[in-house]
Amino acid sequence: MTQISELFTRNRLWADRLKEINPNFFSSLAEQQSPEFLWIGCADSRVPANEIVDLPPGGVFVHRNIANVVVPSDLNCLSVIQYAVEVLKVKHVIVCGHYGCGGVKASLDDADHGLIDNWLHHIRDVARLHHADFDDSMSEEDRVNRLCELNVIEQVRNVANTTILRHAWERGGEVEVHGWVYSIADGIVKGLCTHTADGLKNDAA
């Protein structure tokens, strides 16, 4: 088990390693951030945004929560989106879920999860909206993974429906909202959909 004190040692080794590769890395990074991507992802520790797309610190502006949910009442998430779109001028907003998501799985059972149930009801709403996508012949794993995909697509719609994105498009902004799903089993990302000012379209398989 990693002790908290070890994290300081690991941090020092990491910083030294990066400076060995590029002595100016941190001085350049400290001047400003200008990422082209906003990543809205799950808080799962196995789904790290930068590592998945192989970008260094400064390459991705990140917001994470349980099951990558975007709701109009979440001022935290909306503030991140506004800052990313209006100040950082990101070109792409990526909503990335992952197969086997624990939050999605919990939304499908009848157990009492305490406070988090208030959050999971947003995912349950997605399941109800797309009830025709599920049948009794599906395994639990298939049901969870299908809902992971549907949840991503609905959250893309939610991002696109914010006044932040609508106003950006009205001003002629070219920002795009993408829906992705990540497989922890093999490390590969699959594109599900893209939303632009012209609407939502499914990505090619």
Span 8-20, pLDDT tens digits: 999 999 999 999 9
DSSP 126-172: HHHHTGGG--TTS-HHHHHHHHHHHHHHHHHHHHHTSHHHHHHHHTT
pLDDT score recorded for residue 1: 75
**Residue 197: which residues within 8 A CB-CB, separation 6 or more?**
169, 173, 174
Give me the percent of the chain exceeding a pLDDT of 70.
Answer: 99
171 is catalytic: no
Kindly state whether residues 82 and 10 are assigned to the same domain.
no
Same structural domain, 85 and 4:
no
> Mind listing the pLDDT tens digit for each residue in 125-155?
999 999 999 988 999 999 999 999 999 999 9
Catalytic one among 44, 96, 122, 143? 44
Question: Is the pLDDT reported for residue 157 higher than 80?
Answer: yes
The pLDDT score that the predictor gives to residue 177 is: 99
Domain that holds residue 11: 1-31
pLDDT tens digits for range 78-105: 999 999 999 999 999 999 999 999 999 9
pTM (global) more than 0.85? yes
Active site residue: 10, 12, 46, 113, which one?
46
Question: Binding site: which residues?
Answer: 42, 44, 98, 101
Note whether 26 and 37 are same-domain residues: no
Q: What is the pLDDT of residue 68?
A: 99
Instruction: Say which of 98, 122, 143, 178 is annotated catalytic.
Output: 98
Annotated binding site for Zn(2+): 42, 44, 98, 101
pLDDT-derived band at 204 (thresholds 50, 70, 90) equals low
Of 164, 160, 162, give the one whose Cα is nearest residue 197: 160
41 and 23, same structural domain?
Answer: no
Same domain, 14 and 50: no
Residues 13 and 62 both lie in one domain: no
Mean of per-residue pLDDT scores for the chain = 95
| Same domain flag for 9 and 100 | no
Reduced to 3 states (helix: H, G, I; strand: E, B; else coil), residue 75 is helix
The question of whether 109 is a catalytic residue gets the answer: no
Confirm whether 131 is a catalytic residue: no
Q: How many domains does the chain have?
A: 2
Quick one: average pLDDT of 159-166?
98
Burial class (CB in 10 A: 0-12, 13-18, 19+), 92: middle
pLDDT category, 2, cuts 50, 70, 90? confident
Question: Are residues 38 and 128 located together in one domain of the fold?
Answer: yes
Q: Is 166 a catalytic residue?
A: no
Q: Which of 96, 101, 148, 193 is catalytic?
A: 101
Per-residue pLDDT tens digits for 29-66? 888 788 999 999 999 999 999 999 999 899 999 999 99
Alpha carbon distance 43, 34 (integer Å): 23
- Distance between CA atoms of residues 69 and 92, nearest Å: 17
User: Is 44 a residue of the active site?
Assistant: yes
